[in-house]
Amino acid sequence: MDKTTLTTHQKALQINLDSQKYGTFAEIGGGQEVVRWFFKVGGAAGTVAKSISAYDMTVSDAIYGPTERYVCQERLSRMLDHEYDLLIDRLEVKRGKNTQFFVFADTVTIQGYQQRMDCHGWMGIRFQDNPMGKWNDVIIHVRFLEQERLQQQETLGILGVNLIYGAFYYNQDLVLLIESLMDNIAPGKIEVDLIDTAGHLFEKIDLRLLNLQLLVSGLTPVILFTPNGKAVQPSDLLYKKAILIERGRFEPVTNLNMEMMEVARAKFLQEPEIADVPKLEIMEITTRNLLTEMGTIDKDNFIQRIELLCALKQHVLISNYAEFYEISTYLNRFTKNLIGLVLGIPLLQELFNEKYYSYVEGGILEAMGRLFKKKIKLYVYPTYDPQTSKLITAENLEIKGSIKHIYNYLLESNHLVPLHPINPPLKSFSPKEVTEYIKSGDPRWKELVPIRAVEIIREKRYFGYKELEEASSNH
């Protein structure tokens, strides 16, 4: 579906003039910035049944129930439940046959009068797509990147109107709904890092793909999945954690990937500074590693990688960050504790290759400064060199040119931590080889992939899986 970008005024007015749309606005934490648009453009009496802002915590608890956290998805859901039930109870008999009832709610933290804070919030809409119909939900989490309170309030109002309009008019095209969230909002003002849906309209929607679309459409640089495959607000998991993160293609995840994390974990846990700090392990895939030769993302392939990693009880982070210093900067938004990056020798060689930093004003020196300015360590797994039949480690890796002095400094200062597995790799293989084995029916792939992943690949025929007999019959 193509769309013409309407102004916020036009969207609010169109909803006001639609006699079927009628509902409640419940806003906490950022003023009544969303409903204000509907009053501002005129005709709000045809849309606004009630507007409420329960700022006092005691008052809020009396309405929506007690809670430990006021800015969270659970609180938003309670607001939607309560206000929708009230709306239906009071108005369905009177006007239900001709009305699509809705409730818009948000609970946010924006800049306070005295102190600077992490500004974010939840907003959602519960709506009927037909009079007397069942309800549907669209819920998002937003991070405010602007620094001033008035700017954040203005953006909050525009985003809320976009969400309401999208839910009503783009609910058959969720890619369009997602992209429309940024209508009339300049880049760099917000990030939308989670979307959730419920209701019969969205029964066939795969929320993993829907959250991937946030990344593809540029609304967030990162999405994060828990081992149960559910997308979560990144800050909830990352906050104040010591984080161990391994970057890879995971197409599919291999025994080597898991071994790298296991050996790195043992070393990571020896760091005295994180003895009493909660810890989190993450497998990261960059969008660059999701692209096909055509420059697009194969959605089935994406789901297959996520499913295998989650089946192995891994948290999975998908990012738009090509460079390590970018992902470390992102993680440092939420934690000041140690971040460990797990990588092999091939990736380490790329990291210290100056040609990859031509677009950085200060070149590789600036990139290294950005990467290691916080509490960052690289845990380096050795690799087997088939040409020399020797094991290459962080200690004996040959770095050429003047950059070797920086490398040696990082090694000596324990920013580069060599890993020494009990059973070091005695041969080398690439992820592409494993995929080719799977596609060709070569049974060697089963020795290279975790048992649980083997079972899933065979059962669901992932990555073009063929049995040996099938592959033979095709030749």
pLDDT of residue 68: 84
Of 61, 91, 92, 93, the C-alpha closest to 79 is: 61
Across residues 82-86, what is the average pLDDT? 98
pLDDT digits (tens, 9 = 90+) for 447-468: 999 999 999 999 999 999 987 6
| Residue 268 reports pLDDT greater than 90 | yes
Please state the separation of Cα 142 from the chain's center in Å.
Answer: 12
Cα–Cα distance measured from residue 44 to residue 16, given in angstroms and rounded to the nearest whole number: 6
Q: Does 176 share its domain with 245? A: no
What value, to the nearest 5°, has the Cα angle with vertex 40 and ends 37 and 42?
110
Comparing 376 with 374, the larger pLDDT belongs to: 376
Q: Does 392 share its domain with 316? A: yes
* CB 259 within 8 Å of CB 275: no
Q: Is residue 44 part of a domain?
A: yes
Q: Does 157 share its domain with 195? A: yes
| Residue 129 reports pLDDT greater than 50 | yes
Q: Does 329 share its domain with 437? A: no
Across residues 237-253, what is the average pLDDT? 96
Cα–Cα distance measured from residue 59 to residue 80, given in angstroms and rounded to the nearest whole number: 16
Across residues 129-158, what is the average pLDDT? 97
pLDDT digits (tens, 9 = 90+) for 348-365: 998 888 777 777 788 888
Q: Is residue 154 part of a domain?
A: yes
Tokens 């994406």 correspond to 302
CA dihedral 380, 398, 396, 326 (to 10 degrees): -20
Q: Give the CATH number, domain containing residue 118.
A: 3.90.950.20
Q: Which residues contact 283 (CB under 8 A, 6 or more apart)?
A: 245, 246, 248, 250, 253, 257, 261, 309, 314, 315, 316, 317
Q: Give the CATH number, domain containing residue 245.
A: 3.40.50
Q: Is residue 3 part of a domain?
A: no
pLDDT digits (tens, 9 = 90+) for 186-234: 999 999 999 999 999 999 999 999 999 999 999 999 999 999 999 999 9
Across residues 308-322, what is the average pLDDT? 97
Cα–Cα distance measured from residue 227 to residue 307, given in angstroms and rounded to the nearest whole number: 9
Burial of residue 163, with CB atoms counted within 10 A of its CB: 0-12 exposed, 13-18 middle, 19 or more buried: buried
| Residue 475 reports pLDDT greater than 60 | no
Q: Is residue 179 part of a domain?
A: yes
What value, to the nearest 5°, has the Cα angle with vertex 413 and ends 410 and 418?
70
Q: Does 306 share its domain with 410? A: yes
Q: Does 264 share its domain with 359? A: yes
| Residue 3 reports pLDDT greater than 80 | no
Q: Look up the domain containing 20 and give its range.
A: 8-220
pLDDT of residue 365: 84
Chain mean pLDDT for the chain: 93
Number of domains in the chain: 3
Q: Does 311 share its domain with 183? A: no
- Select from 197, 220, 243 the last residue of a domain: 220
Comparing 369 with 231, the larger pLDDT belongs to: 231
| Residue 390 reports pLDDT greater than 70 | yes
Q: Does 300 share its domain with 383? A: yes
Q: Does 252 share its domain with 388? A: yes
Q: Is residue 258 part of a domain?
A: yes
